[in-house]
Amino acid sequence: MTIALDGFGAEQGFDVLAEGARRAAADGIGVRVFGPERSLRLAGVSGIEVIPTTEWIGNDDDPVQSVRERREASVVRAARDVAEGNAAAMVSLGSTGATMAAATFGLRRLKGVQRPALAVRLPSPVKPVLFLDVGANIEVRAQHLVQFAFLGAAFSAAVLEVREPTVGLLTVGEEAGKGRPEIVEAHRILAEAPGVDFAGNIEGGDLPEAKVDVVVTDGFTGNVALKVMEGAARTLAGAISDLAHKNVLAAAGGLLLKPALGGLRKEFDPDTTGGAILLGLRAVTIVGHGSSGADGVANAIRLAARSVDVDAVGRTAALLREGHAGRAALAGDAVGDEAA
């Protein structure tokens, strides 16, 4: 198993990225890194090959235009590496927009999918929830939200092994008419669509409480909501730790709770999950957190390898194909299986 890794975009620097690659390689995963040889200092590491690359696409660059014009940029080369069969999946910690554009152009979409969506498994203490889109599509139409529901349900059933996953639409009230116009329209379509177990609208408070298996939203709202959850967990854990420092009784309590609290905090740490998976493409693409530490980088590579191992793409595609309703919904105004 070999994974193509974008060698740029790690906010903590090349050392952290290289250390993450080393840890994944130590697990027996081959890693092909597209980045600067001298900064990465990975020469001679077993299982790792550095393909010297100096060009890259940053957060300030226009994603689509940059991917079209800069054929030698690291994220574009990583996608091409997968398309050419040198690697089974790609991982990038760089610009989400650029990764999405490079993967969509280079790896193509599954038949009938208009927009790939970025999905994360939320580390809810109740049960895992698949949450999408968390940043790939800032603006969506109703039909895109409907497709996300089918994509998310198929991935949840095929890869997370949830039987008949329930799908909720994230909005500002339980009633069918609540939310932006595209959400109201998506609700109407999903309520009548066979082939997906639509549980109706859910509100922000239901997200950490895991009331459904799959939560669908646009990439703007999903990105904000995900980061609010992570921030709230981080802040609350910090506040508990502060309290324990201020009060001698609480300090003793904190010490005793520490092993349990540590596990909880780790579950909410984005470094643990490794990143988000781009659903709807013909090959696995993982978007890691830009701020990942070495563990985050390693876990993103491991997530890519695991997703290939369980044939995430093939099984999701099969479930999409099989579902009559899924096919009907996806065929609605599909634009074929070529990237736009």
Dihedral over alpha carbons 142, 277, 225, 181 (to 10 degrees): 0
Q: Report, in Å, the least distance between residue 218 CB and a copy of itself.
A: 9
1 near a copy of itself, judged by CB under 8 A? no
220 near a copy of itself, judged by CB under 8 A? yes
182 near a copy of itself, judged by CB under 8 A? no
In the complex with a copy of itself, the residue whose CB is nearer, 251 or 339, is: 251
23 near a copy of itself, judged by CB under 8 A? no
Q: Report, in Å, the least distance between residue 234 CB and a copy of itself.
A: 7
Tell me which residue of 12, 13, 45 sits closest to 29, measured CA to CA.
Answer: 45
243 near a copy of itself, judged by CB under 8 A? yes
Q: Which of residues 128-157 bind a copy of itself (CB under 8 A)?
A: 135, 138-139
- Return the range that interacts with a copy of itself (CB under 8 A); candidates 10-18, 43-51, 240-248, 304-312: 240-248
Q: Which residues sit opposite 291 in a β-bridge? A: none
CB 139, CB 113: distance < 8 Å: no
* Alpha carbon 108 to its chain's center: 17
In the complex with a copy of itself, the residue whose CB is nearer, 30 or 219, is: 219
Judged by CB under 8 A, how many residues of this single chain contact a copy of itself? 64
In the complex with a copy of itself, the residue whose CB is nearer, 177 or 194, is: 177
CB 130, CB 301: distance < 8 Å: no
Q: Which of residues 92-121 bind a copy of itself (CB under 8 A)?
A: none
Neighbour order of strands in the sheet with 214-216: 48-52, 30-35, 2-6, 89-92, 284-287, 276-279, 117-122, 129-132, 214-216, 166-170, 197-202
Task: Identify the DSSP state of 301.
Answer: H
- Return the range that interacts with a copy of itself (CB under 8 A); candidates 20-28, 48-56, 148-156, 246-254: 246-254
Residue 125 contacts by C-beta under 8 Å, 6 or more apart in sequence? 264, 267
End-to-end CA distance of the chain: 30
**C-alpha pair distances (Å), 143 with each of 95, 146, 218, 227, 332:** 26, 5, 11, 25, 8
- Return the range that interacts with a copy of itself (CB under 8 A); candidates 108-116, 152-160, 251-259, 321-329: 251-259
Dihedral over alpha carbons 323, 326, 332, 337 (to 10 degrees): -80
185 near a copy of itself, judged by CB under 8 A? no
What is the C-alpha to C-alpha distance for residues 130 and 125, in angstroms, rounded to an integer?
Answer: 13
Burial profile 241-251: b = 16 or more Cβ within 10 angstroms, e = fewer = eeebeeeeeee
**Binding residue for a copy of itself (CB under 8 A) from 27, 242, 309, 337?**
242
186, two tokens: 């998506």
Tell me which residue of 233, 231, 308, 286 sits closest to 264, measured CA to CA.
Answer: 233
**Binding residue for a copy of itself (CB under 8 A) from 258, 272, 331, 335?**
258
In the complex with a copy of itself, the residue whose CB is nearer, 75 or 233, is: 233
* Alpha carbon 273 to its chain's center: 9
- Return the range that interacts with a copy of itself (CB under 8 A); candidates 1-9, 101-109, 216-224, 321-329: 216-224
Q: Which of residues 31-70 bind a copy of itself (CB under 8 A)?
A: 59-60
Q: Report, in Å, the least distance between residue 227 CB and a copy of itself.
A: 3
Query: Binding mask 303-332 vs a copy of itself (x if CB under 8 A, - otherwise)?
Result: ------------------------------
Q: Report, in Å, the least distance between residue 41 CB and a copy of itself.
A: 29
Contact residues: a copy of itself, CB under 8 A: 59-60, 124-126, 135, 138-139, 170-173, 175, 177-181, 203-209, 217, 219-221, 223-236, 238-240, 242-244, 246-247, 249-250, 252-261, 264
